[in-house]
Structure 1
């Protein structure tokens, strides 16, 4: 009997230990930088890219071994280019993965704040419903007013349900990207705020044109084609082969120009999207201030019997929509900024250095207003 009690005690202690360990895991903190690092080091997508790179390296080693038996300048250069392209493709994929993690991180922050706003809206609706019920019991309002208040409260509860589901999906998406259990929850230490940065478009464009891997690959294609022209420039090379080499060089020369134009268009589009998102935030903030003031006025007018219950409930709903819109504008700006940096070919760690190097002295001394998402 004592042995049974002893074993039972051990089991209970073990359950408590693992429960506390699980709770500690759920309460652990996670910064945006750590999330990106974790996803790039431990994520399934990153692991797949590393395997693809190993396969490409094996192919490269095989090609170089074959060259020992059949030496060829063109074959050697082609094998080297293929290996470089494989590395660049992995780097591009990892850059896109880092952006996806950053976007997912911001989406969790947005969803958490949206849930708090929905809960705040439901509290306002509940408070208004309680007031309407008292007024109805005293014969001060009609039954339709009570029904409208009840409907508003029910819709507010539905908004909480919708926000909760959105948050759950946001967490699962982030957890999938950083390779943790879907049920894990972190305390996100980075914030979703509006801190506009000064962007020098011309410097950004020049950086992209000199760092984007697609351009480097197009340049390598042209160099290979030029080498083929050089090798074929002998009296023993058939004229048709010479012409084919020349045409290939012309083809890759045009392709390089098209790649540059395409990337310039990408950067310009990303820049305009960023500026549009930046300009929307103060507009949405102003709309939020107007909605709050309108609700205050509506509440006062309702107390004096100057407007109907429906008018008051509409003002409450408009405030909630303005809060959500302002929150979304901040999210859009942060995602647009991250996408712009990704288009430039910058990693997360390289951004601060780039901004510092591209900022003018007056810009470095400037301090911008950085309002966070609306408090619930």
Structure 2
């Protein structure tokens, strides 16, 4: 009794520990990044590979590749079953049915004539008969009751070969599924890198816009100071002072909006990385526009080779071709073989169960089955597989056109921002000079506040356009790299 209690306690503790360990393994932690040295997009990409939930789900799918391939190969291997069973049965029959259909209970009594031996004196032949005049014999039938026990053990080996080649093409499809999962991981990595870089540039753009807003605030404070000084000497009216003060207030609101936009962009970047939204870290801001010298035809060819999603369509077409062979194989017979060895032993209830039954039975079988007709379902599946193959070919062609369109669009957008950069860079230089001249003229009383405000607005717009152009260029470069499936920088 003590041994049973001890074994039960050990088993319970083992189950609880296993459950606690499994629950702990299922916990997903969200790390928090603290301020460190400046991080590049590649640094953040390495972080996202470990913590992005969406990417991790794709990785988990790919982790089943080996199991799927082994399962496909397993269809060529025999199945092995072993078993052991014990059973006990008992019955007790209390009632029986009389000749007239009534139900009676045991014990049942029956009177029959006593048997008599007759002898033929002439032949010496003897036989048993019944003498109605003799005393009858009474037979008593008690209620039927019995208990039996049975012990059985068996081992079974079975193998089925599809002569139509379904198992072979199933293995090929398993390998294709494995490659598709690997390509999904590659596509996820490319998409993750693109999202990180796009959001990285969005954060930097908002940082520069915030710096611009702070710079403009200082300029407007200086303009307010100049307006007050000129008002004190009577060279302008109080309207200039009031307008300058309003401009300062509006710019302070603009800074609040810029700070909010920056915070939202930073938290979106943290979400893409899979880290805590309030994580803080520095970014590298050394991006400038360069002249793209890429060949469009080479970019398109690179996309056909390097785009994971396009490669997935290629693999899907191969899988559909294998499916045609699989469903066509249903028209061929199947060869099956099996070997079964079993042991059994029956006993009464007063005999214990045994783990070594003595009665043996061995069966070996070999069969060839051929499904001649099944209501045209096999034909329907085969024709559907052929249609799916044709559709897969058209999907591949459509994807090839979409791929080329993506590359061309990204390439044109990159060239557009590069050409615009020359104008925006020149405009910001001219606007900066114009603002400096108007500020000096306003200080000397040679221009109006309206002209100064116009120059200020022009400067802000030109500076913001230049900032937007720089990071739009890099975002377009990221889009081009994503469209061809590899990096250009």
- The TM-score normalised by the length of structure 1 is 0.77
- Counterpart residue number, 1:186: 281
- Aligned-pair CA distance for 1:291: 1.4
Give the 5 Å matches for 1:2-81.
25-55=34-64, 58-66=67-75, 68=77, 72-81=167-176
**Helix, strand or coil for the counterpart of 1:187?**
coil
**How many angstroms apart in 2 are the aligned matches of 1:176 and 1:231?**
44
Of residues 218, 221, 228 in structure 2, which corresponds to 1:133?
228
1:75-97: CA deviations, max 9, x gaps? 22222222221221222122111
* 2:199 and 2:269 in contact (8 A); partners too: yes
RMSD (Å), alpha carbons: 2.8
Where relative contact order (Cα < 8 A, 6+ residues apart) is larger, the structure is: 1
Matches within 5 A, 1:1-376: 25-55=34-64, 58-66=67-75, 68=77, 72-227=167-322, 244-303=384-443, 305-346=445-486, 350-352=487-489
Cα distance between partner residues in 1 of 2:240 and 2:466? 30
Which of the two has higher C-alpha Rg? 2
Cα distance between partner residues in 2 of 1:180 and 1:31: 16
**Equivalent-residue separation in structure 2 for 1:246 and 1:183 (angstroms):** 54
**Residue in 2 that maps onto 1:18:** none
Closer/same/farther in 2, CA of residues 164 and 82 from structure 1, 3 Å limit: same
User: Is contact 2:431–2:459 with CA below 8 Å preserved after alignment?
Assistant: yes
Higher normalized helix content (fraction of residues)? 1
Paired residue secondary structure (2:184)? helix
Paired with 2:277 and 2:387, the residues of 1 have a C-alpha distance of 54
Deviation at 1:240, TM superposition (A): 6.6
Q: Alpha-carbon deviations, 1:245-304, whole Å to 9, x = none? A: 544433322222122111111111111111112222111112212212322342344345
Q: Secondary structure at the match of 1:184?
A: coil
Query: Which stretch shows the higher mean deviation, 71-80 or 129-138?
Result: 71-80
* Change in CA separation of 1:44 and 1:190 when aligned onto 2, cut-off 3 Å: farther
Select the structure that is richer in strand: 2
Shift of 1:228: 5.0
C-alpha distance in 2, partners of 1:267/1:190? 27
CA contact (8 A) 2:173 2:322 kept: no
Distance 1:341 1:235, change over 3 A: closer
* Maintained 8 Å contact 2:231/2:237: yes
Distance 1:267 1:314, change over 3 A: same
- Find the aligned partners of 1:62 and 1:198 in 2 and give their Cα distance: 49
Query: 1:20 is matched with which residue?
Result: none
Q: Bigger CA drift: 81-90 or 266-275?
A: 81-90
Give distance in 1, aligned partners of 2:405 and 2:187. Answer: 18
Confirm or deny: 8 A CA contact 1:110 1:192 kept in the other structure.
no
Q: Equivalent residue of 2:190, what SS?
A: helix
User: What residue number does 1:4 align with?
Assistant: none
**Cα contact 2:169–2:325 (8 A) shared by 1:** no
Contact between 1:136 and 1:143, CA under 8 Å: does it hold in 2?
yes
In the alignment of these two chains, the number of paired residues is 326
CA contact (8 A) 2:183 2:311 kept: no
